[in-house]
């Protein structure tokens, strides 16, 4: 188990002993079912008819003109629930069903994973509890309401900074006392083994589709693939299929917050050091004593001080470049995509767009760039309005 859960020196499962049997049961079930014909065909059917896969690859012509290269958007924002998160919740939810579990718990930051879990709880008739920090509950209230409408209980997490890190702490704590009937549906490609492997498996459909769509629709592979990085699931989901295409540049964009120099950000791979959080060894935003930083970002889904172990390995190997986009550039990019294409991106996804806008003038006009549009911005309208009131 230890070897399988490692990405280079990263990953592993640094968890209280009481959770080890639950993680082993999960690993055993994943490897039993993930290639099982019945499981695969049920998941494929739900991905198509419930979630809306395959998602389109869209040529954003007017946005491209502004940036000065050819920009294609992988439209995960069009999936049911409004983000890529449903790929993972359908997969893990089905696994929970095959394992005979009757209850789901999950953590959430932006509320997209919470909503995607609440949807699947309703779909499979499972009792669902979502742990969410109080700061995130306030800034992502639309999703909180949607989760409750789907029948889930939303549990306020008041500790720490009231964000994703604290929600994971409480969900893990709850799980230790309820492992027999409860499935912890983890939301990103991080945390203890086997979650990074499981979440990646259910998200690689993004890259498999995108690569084939590039060949079919453009006639060649892209020059660059961009994705935002919180815990790392949408990014590993799209990057994975391109890893062996050495001419395709892969760029992960983290939350630069107010500014990198002020220290008020969530750019883990760009500015972190190796440590252990939430059961895994990874880059981590921490001080000299190993205390985890209070992160800050306009986007709740990227506001997290750690990152998935595979991204740490990909950073060290140099195969993927990791950079940060600051809040102001992100809000500008949100506005630009909305005004040029009529597509409101999630603030998380707008980080990837912001980096691309920053490359304006530096790219050949024939450069083909694929941006993973991980989610839609409906949930963020209130935040954008607060920072950038719309003029009548
Ligand atoms: C739309 C969207 N994109 C990206 C993320 C970041 O998560 P990950 O890095 O796991 O893709 C989130 C997290 O909530 C999200 O809601």
pLDDT per residue over 135-165, tens digit each? 999 999 999 999 999 999 999 999 999 999 9
Question: CA-to-CA distance for 164 and 17, rounded, in angstroms?
Answer: 23
pTM: 0.97
Output the CA 392–ligand 1 centroid distance in Å.
32
CATH of the domain at 14: 3.40.50.1100
- Listed residues 182, 200, 218: the one ending a domain: 200
Has residue 65 been placed in a domain? Answer: yes
Q: Which of 27, 76, 107, 329 is catalytic?
A: 107
Residue 148 neighbours by CB distance under 10 Å: 13
Together in a domain, 94 and 226: no
In b/e form, how buried is each residue of 82-105, taking b as 16+ CB within 10 angstroms?
bbbbbbbbbbbbbbbbbeebebbb
Percentage of the residues of the chain whose pLDDT score is greater than 70: 98
SS (H, E, C) 22-55: HHHHHHHHHHHHCCCHHHHHHHHHHHHHHHCCCC
pLDDT at 3: 58
Together in a domain, 235 and 181: no
Determine whether 296 is an active site residue.
Answer: no
pLDDT per residue over 251-303, tens digit each? 999 999 999 998 899 999 999 999 999 999 999 999 989 999 899 999 999 99
pLDDT per residue over 169-214, tens digit each? 999 999 999 999 999 999 999 999 999 999 999 999 999 999 999 9
Say if residue 390's pLDDT is above 80. no
Atom of ligand 1 nearest to the CA of 234: 11
Q: Which of 74, 85, 97, 146 is catalytic?
A: 85
Residue 182 — left, alpha, or beta (φ > 0 → left; ψ -120 to 50 → alpha)? beta
CA end-to-end span of the chain: 59
Unique residue bearing structure tokens 């050819």: 70
The predicted model gives 99-128 an average pLDDT of 97
Together in a domain, 35 and 10: yes
How does residue 388 score in pLDDT terms, banded at 50, 70 and 90? confident
Question: CA-to-CA distance for 306 and 189, rounded, in angstroms?
Answer: 11
Alpha carbon nearest to ligand 1 atom 6, residue = 230
Say if residue 311's pLDDT is above 60. yes
Looking at residue 276, the DSSP 8-state letter turns out to be E
Has residue 310 been placed in a domain? Answer: yes
Together in a domain, 174 and 271: no
Has residue 1 been placed in a domain? Answer: no
Together in a domain, 186 and 294: no
Say if residue 66's pLDDT is above 80. yes
Say if residue 389's pLDDT is above 80. no
Together in a domain, 350 and 297: yes
């Amino acid at each position: 188990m230890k070897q399988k859960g490692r990405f280079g020196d990263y990953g592993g499962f640094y968890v209280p002993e009481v959770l080890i049997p639950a993680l082993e049961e999960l690993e055993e079930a994943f490897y039993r079912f993930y290639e099982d014909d019945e499981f695969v065909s049920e998941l494929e059917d739900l991905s198509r008819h419930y979630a809306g896969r395959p998602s389109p690859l869209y040529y954003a012509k007017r946005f491209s003109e502004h940036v000065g290269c050819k920009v294609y958007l992988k439209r995960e924002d069009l999936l049911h629930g409004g983000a890529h998160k449903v790929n993972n919740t359908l997969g893990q939810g089905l696994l929970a069903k095959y394992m005979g579990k009757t209850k789901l718990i999950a953590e959430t930051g932006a509320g997209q994973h919470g909503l995607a879990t609440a949807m699947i709880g309703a779909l499979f008739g499972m009792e669902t509890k979502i742990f969410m920090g109080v700061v995130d509950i306030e800034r992502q209230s639309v999703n909180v309401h949607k989760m409750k409408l789907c029948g889930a209980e939303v549990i306020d997490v008041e500790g720490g900074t009231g964000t994703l890190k604290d929600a994971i702490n409480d969900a893990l704590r709850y799980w230790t006392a309820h492992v027999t009937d409860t499935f912890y549906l983890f939301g990103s490609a991080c945390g203890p083994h086997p979650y990074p492997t499981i979440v990646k498996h259910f998200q690689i459909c993004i890259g498999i589709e995108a690569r084939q769509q590039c060949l079919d629709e453009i006639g060649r592979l892209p020059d660059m693939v961009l994705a935002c990085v919180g815990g790392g699931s949408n990014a590993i989901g799209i990057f994975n299929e391109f890893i062996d295409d050495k001419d395709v540049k892969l760029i992960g964009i983290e939350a630069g917050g107010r500014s990198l120099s002020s220290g008020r950000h969530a750019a883990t791979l760009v500015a972190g050091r190796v440590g252990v959080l939430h059961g895994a060894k990874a880059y981590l935003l921490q001080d000299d004593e190993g205390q985890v930083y209070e992160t800050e970002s306009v986007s709740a889904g990227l506001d997290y001080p750690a990152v998935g172990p595979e991204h740490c390995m990909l950073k060290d190997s140099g195969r993927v470049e990791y950079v940060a986009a600051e809040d102001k550039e992100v809000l500008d990019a949100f506005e630009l995509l909305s005004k040029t294409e009529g597509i409101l991106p999630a603030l998380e996804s707008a980080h990837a767009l912001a980096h691309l806008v920053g490359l304006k003038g530096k790219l050949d006009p024939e450069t083909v760039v694929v941006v993973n549009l991980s989610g839609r911005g409906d949930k963020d309208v209130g935040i954008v309005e607060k920072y950038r009131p719309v003029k009548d």
